[in-house]
Structures are given as C-alpha cells and as structure tokens.
Amino acid sequence: MKKIYLILILFFICINTNAQDTYVFFGSFNHDKTSDGIYVYQLDTIRGTLSKTITVKGFLNPSFLTVSGKQVFVCTESKTPNAGSVCSFEFQPHNKSLIFINSQKSGGENPVYLSVHKNGKWLINGNYTQSSVSLYPISENGTINQMVQKFDFSEGSINTERQTRSHIHATVFSPNFDYIFTTDLGADKIRGFKFENDKSIPLQIAEQPFTKTTLGSGPRHFTFHPNGKFAYCVEELSGTVNAYKYEDGKLESIQRINTHSEKYKVNFESSDVHPSPDGRFLYVANRGEENNIAIFSILPDGKLKTIGYQSTLGKHPRTFAIDETGKFLIVTNVVTGNVFVFKRNSETGLLKRIGKSLKIKNVSCVQIKKY
C-alpha cells in the first residue's frame, strides 16, 4: 500500500513539474515606452491556463519576437525612419526574469519579423515599410553584433493602395538552414537566399532568386511542413494560402486555396500560418470581417483540404502559436486586446476554447517555449 502511495505522489509531482516549464511570450503595440511592451506568462499544460510572470517596459511597440534557447529576440516597430531596432534578452526561468542584453538598428523602417539560425549564431530581420532584409551575428552571450549584410528592395505590384513598393513581411530559414525565404507582400514574390553558415558574409541571392505569387495576392507569412518537403504561404490581400513542393532552395506551387468561407467575399486580411507538429493539419488566421482560424487537413501529397473554422473570439488575430506538443493553440487579437487558449484535437484538428480570456492591450505577437 505504501509503495502505491509513493508511486502516486511521484506521478503528481511529475505532472506538476510539466505544468510549470512552458512559457508564453507576448509583445504589445504599447505606443509608449512607459507602458508594458513585453509579457511573459506561464502555461499550465494540464488546464491550459496562463499566469503572469514578467512584464517589461522601456521598449516601443514590440511587433514581433522569437525565442532561441534562453535568448529572446524582439523587433521594435517604428514608423520613424531609422528608429526601428532589434533587441536581445536573456530569459532565466529559474528566477523568472527577462534581462536586456543589447540592441542594434534594424536597418530599415518598421521591422516585423525575426528568425534565428539553429546554431544560435545568426539573426535575420525583415523591415516592412522601408523594405529590406538585415543580418546580424550573435555572440555566445546573446549579444547582437553589428549588421553584416543588408538587402534593399523597391519594386511594387498591381494593388495601388498596398503595393506601391516592396514590403518584406517574413524571414524564414529552410528546414536544413541552408536557405532563407522572405515574403514580399508589396512585390508579390517569395525571395530566396542561399545561406552559407561557415562564411562571415553568409547570405547570397539564390539560384532561384524569387518565386512569383499571383499578382495582387500579397504574400505575408511562410512556413515549412515538419517533413521539410512542403511549404505554405499565407497571402494577405487575396485571402488564400499557397501550397508548395520544396527541394534544394526551390519552390513549386501545387495548390492555391481560399482561407475564407464562401460567406466572405472581401476584406480577408489573412495574417499567420502554422502546421501542427505532427504535420497532419495546417492553421491560418483571418482578420478583416472573419476573425477566425481556418483549419485544413494536410494530404499525403502536401495539398490542403478545408475542414472548418474557429472564431478567435476577438478582432484582428495578428499572430498565433502552437506549443511543441501540439496540444494548445494560443491566438492574439490586437484590436480587442485579448488572448485565448484553444485545446487542439489531434485526431480531428478542430479547436476548443479553454479557460478565460487574457487581456493584453494591443497584443501584437506570441511565441511558446518549453524549458
């Protein structure tokens, strides 16, 4: 009897330990350095609830962040020329602290996306308004060193309101980290770069320098399937997602499908895209009139089949994230300033809200990391 009792105690200790080691990082369009701009919450992986652990002031409009090991990299958005920055923090889960390390100029107006190489030694940033891609070496202590490369773009496309010039909106490493793909909303292109990690100047325009998307589509965010053979690009202006076959730095379109139901004909504003960790489902956020998550099953050939829609229970879902277990999806609604946690059914792919809403004014982005 004592042995059974001991086993039960150990079991509940393990459950409690697992519930304490997953953290969720949020940014906010605070518009004022005296207001909180970065938030860190702890995710209870049993109940799906969030509890606040850290808030950080002193940074204007953290529009996007990414987590790499103990480092948290943040881009601060500004529409003032040359005022945007990329910042580095160290997260210490044992004492629940987020320590500022340093910052560098973003190399262009309005930085909106960051990615880190798997070795933790390179940071790549995309600037939206003053369209450019900038690359930085990272020291072992997480310091962002001075920019070593920058590529500027200018050409636009057919939408006279949104595409008068180039607008880089995402910078994504390939599955093997030997290429980088940048979505250009303004020029209707997915730009490709070869990445040679062992060189001091590692970024070169790829043999296939860009993949054209449908004119007026506005490619925004981009992601790879966990198997590395397929890629998916959400197109903001047309409310579509384009599925690609991927091999050795080259993309081949295999399908283009609406992210919205037939009920909606205009104002799509599709924003973010992520596959489930098991590679069975793809999720796409829609803003505009819909404010939902479109859910697709991923077929063996990489093509998509629409299976449903889930309201985000707020307005303007800019980003969302799925935890590494695939159990939870967390979505940010910028206009209503609320966050919701959804439990994901691993068999059907459908989502179910759990817990209460979390209020973060002008919440801009979210990332989940298990420590």
| Strand runs labelled E in 174-327 | 179-184, 189-195, 203-212, 219-224, 230-235, 240-247, 250-258, 270-275, 281-286, 292-298, 304-311, 317-322
**Which pLDDT band holds residue 1 (cuts at 50, 70, 90)?**
low
pLDDT for 18 equals 46
Whole-number Å distance between alpha carbons of 175 and 40: 28
**Which pLDDT band holds residue 268 (cuts at 50, 70, 90)?**
confident
> What is the distance of C-alpha 207 from the center of its chain?
26
Contact yes or no for 313/332 (Cβ under 8 A): no
Query: Given phi > 0 = left and psi -120 to 50 = alpha, else beta, which region is 64?
Result: beta
Q: Identify the burial level of 64 via C-beta atoms within 10 angstroms of its C-beta, where 0-12 means exposed, 13-18 middle and 19 or more buried.
A: buried
Whole-number Å distance between alpha carbons of 86 and 128: 14
Query: What pTM value is reported for the model?
Result: 0.94
Q: Indicate the SS3 state at residue 363.
A: strand
Whether 92 has a pLDDT exceeding 80, the answer reads yes
Taking alpha carbons only, the member of 241, 192, 201, 204 closest to residue 220 is 241
Q: What is the pLDDT of residues 112-152, one digit of tens each?
A: 999 999 999 999 999 999 899 999 999 999 999 999 999 99
Q: What is the pLDDT of residues 26-70, one digit of tens each?
A: 999 999 899 999 999 999 999 999 999 999 999 999 999 999 999
Please name each of the domains of the chain with its CATH number: 153-311 (2.130.10.10)
Q: What is the pLDDT of residues 208-257, one digit of tens each?
A: 999 999 999 999 999 999 999 999 999 999 999 999 999 999 999 999 99
Q: Copy the structure tokens of residue 343.
A: 């439990």
